Structure 1
Amino acid sequence: MYLSLSNNHLVGNFPEWLSQLNNLVGLSLDYNLFHGPVPASLGNLQNLTGVNLSGNQLNGTLPDSFGQLSQLSALDVSLYNLIGSISEVHFSKLNKLKFLGLSSNSFFSNVSSNWVPPFQVQDLEVGSCHLGPTFPAWLRTQKEVTSLDISNASISDSIPNWFWDISSNLSLLNVSFNQLHGQLKNPLTVVPFADVDLSSNFLEGPTPLSTFEIELLELSNNRFSGPIPEKLAQSMPNLVFLSLSGNQLTGDIPVSIGAMVSLVVLNLSGNSLSGSIPSSIGNCSFLNAMDLSFKNLSGEIPLSFSRLNQLRSLHLSNKNLQKPSIIFSKFIKLGDFGSW
């Protein structure tokens, strides 16, 4: 028996009578307004294969009894106000688990350094859980993970070499808002058309390339240095989102960036780039937002910008730039044109 009451604006305490439904296989109560603690009695429903309680107003801790749900393949208790520690007991019999969503709670990891989970997850969403300060060693055992979110997880460590062995399966990687330091493997190893977010850390070294095409590359607010690689476009020609803002990049904007004709968002602001804006950017006809604001830009805004018909946000704050009247009149109505 499956019970799905998602997105129904239901209110009140979590219904304890659900624990009497011994034949319940799937339970979806996500995005309602239930409050109070998660009842430990749910751990008695031994036939459950899927539990989705995300997006409510529940509080308290996650009951240890969930570790007894041996048939469980999906557990989502994200977007809550849950607190407390998550220990090995919570997963003791979850050898069939494939999806684990614990994000946007205030959990603290309390597992041993040599813990080997009984599961092999494919989708792991534990953003905002306190997993650090060291990089979670148990991730090394997860050979099947394809989507990984460990953002804002209080990790202040370098990324271990073994991590790149499991990253070759990833279509989504989010390790943003930690205190990760050191250099990345270059080129990055992820699956084709992956989304990679490494922003707001202390990562350094050259801007990484990729062994396969990436769709989203977010590297802002780190310490990457040196020039933007000329081969960036060759490495990732179908990039849709590129942000390198808030780093220590130097040199010119490479002409080859105009070969990224699929770009929708381009943000190179807050670096020490210099020289002129290459006219080749006018080839990026899908650009919707672009920020090239850094003080050392010079020359004239390329006339090719007049071809950027999808542009809705343009930030070029630099008094040294010359603006042809045809360009200025085309973009003067943009909400974010920058100061001149």
Structure 2
Amino acid sequence: MLNGSIPLSLGKISHLEYLDLSNNKMNGTLSEIHFVNLTKLTWFSASGNSLILQVNPNWVPPFQLKTLLLMSCHLGPQFPSWLHSQNNLSVLDISNARISDTIPRWFWNSIFQYEYLNISSNQIYGEIPDFDPLPPHTPALRPILDLSNNSLSGSMIHFICNGENKLSGIIPESFKNFSNLEVLNLGDNEFVGKIPTWMGEGFTSLLILILRSNKFDGFLPIQLCRLTSLQILDVANNSLSGTMPGCVNNFSAMATIDSSHQSNAMSYFEVTAYDYEVLEDASIVMKGSMVEYNSILNLVRIIDVSKNNFSGEIPMELTLS
């Protein structure tokens, strides 16, 4: 229940590392003087007060924070440019901070350093940029990102899904345990070795298998012929060789689809690759031309084995069963 303003003498506590003033009734203004000697500060929270942070636009703080929590403090209307100097930040909450501005590109470029980022409930506007390619390493396997209650526009597809991993090595055998998988997309990574034969033996419900743009070599295992529900097979842009299994010619007729049942995986799944795109509106873009299939997406078959070293005739067509 602390109230009143924060004294300027705060800036004299030069050995301070951790400062939590959150959830009090403090008001008034914080300026550069409050932080002038806080060179060791790494954790700062003033959330839940009525404080105003008013600093020079060119201010470079003396500290390098790892955690900064300023929810409901008044930072705006400009996006706080001094955050550009904070290279170690992994937790940031500047929600409900009266920011009415676009997000500068330097901040978008640093967004993958955060384990927790909350910039919700501001008046932030502008377009979410494409990230191509995304950074190869991110600090957390399960980062939390909240951009809600703003006026941002644009697509988040590339921002979230496109190229976030550079997984390498062989496909772990522990994948065998995922016997009920309907969609497996390991594309655009750096997996090596042969495509495991057990993929065709254990994934009896698999509808979509995407292994494109890796470093797989050897033969395409004949065991994949056992994937009798498979609708999309994409192994393009690897180093596969040998002859194609004869059953590939019959992939489009391998599955008998029950029209009364369509998997959720095919009703909402979005595949984005170089030569085709399966969208929620059930349209397909393949090699630059769009075909509409609407309600019969469950009958579509796509096979892409391009950019490998296969010998003999390769069936490359889109067919309907």
TM-score, normalised with respect to structure 2 = 0.49
Whichever of the two has the greater Rg, that structure is 2
